[in-house]
Structure 1
Amino acid sequence: MPSASRASYASFTTGDDLLVEFRKWPATLHYRVTAVFLGADEFGAWVGSMKGRPVDRGAGRRPNVVSEDWVSFLPYGRGWAARWYARQAAAGRASRYSCYVDITTPARLDEHGVHLVDLDLDVVRTWDGAVEVLDEDEFQEHRRVLGYPEPIVKSALRSVADVREAMTAGTCPFDGEEAGRRVSSSAAYDEFRLRHSDAPLS
């Protein structure tokens, strides 16, 4: 299955449901959530979800729910997926991080939805603006135990470096501008812009 491209999303209309599924190497379900398609541009696709939507974590694992409204960017042919939270939550990722980037295999799209393999590493921005890399120990352990192929390892480490640099510099999409326009909760729009962008509110 080839990496997703702009043409891959041509059959979707803004507002359509779109399954987003993350797996652990090589194919174990990590979680899946039905998101809302928010559009695609020349760089990637945008999806969003609302607080309270169910999150399927697979057989034998307790289901979860989305802790806060979020919008996510899935770049074409790149090994990461970024998520911005509309506001700080009381629990979960959104309680600690305003932006959370999973390092993954490139997104692939089929008739069932979007599929990515999570490669453990994460690059995050905390609510006070610090940029951090998470789960480096887990990545090294899984690299050994699960036998990540060397091209996958090199791609993941390159993605970490690229995302950390862009997030620290606040370059697109980590300036929050496009994410603000795509945010799934219109009620959160102004607050979202204030938290995720240096640009003045329009």
Structure 2
Amino acid sequence: MTATTAEPGLRERKKAATRQALYEAAVRLAVAHGADNVTVEAVADEAGVSRRTFSNYFANKDEALLHGDRVRMAEMVGMIRERPAAEDAWTALSRTALACYASQGTLDPQWVEQVRLLRQHPALLSQQARVYASAERELAAAVAERLDDPDDRGLRARLMIATFLGAMRVALHVWLENADTTDIQDITADALAEAGRGFGNT
């Protein structure tokens, strides 16, 4: 491979690293000082870049704070599509969710709780709703590819995704309440098994 053909890949990796650094800086500052007290300038300084560089990646601080959600959802869609074709839809969703947690390693309950509360900030809720609505459509499309029965209106696929995300949210809350004695993967597996009883072999 020549230097010329390799350059775009390197450029994209550098851009992704800068975007991730800005996201992490925004979350650190928001958790430490509150979302209302964080400015774009402060995020740029924390990440070691200019204000202009920040604007090349995000329109505002709220968009930066929700970048992690967009990345996680996009990764989940990709992972579901890469699951073995023989897996039914709910199995593919469940195994993808557990694989995501496994790849994250040990989570700090206090940090997760702080970030969860941060996402409930009023200024973020409308943007968060748009992020999740888009992700739900993409997840439903990935699930629809695995359904044996016709689902012309996409009803079953969308119900499945709503149930799946609800189970994930409940599992996270239960884990936060019992983090000293439980493992998030175990709770998530149990929650998905309970929620998926009506979606077996789809």
TM-score (norm 2): 0.27
Larger radius of gyration: 2
- The structure that is strand-richer by fraction is 1
Structure number with greater CO (CA < 8 Å, separation at least 6) is 2
- The structure that is helix-richer by fraction is 2
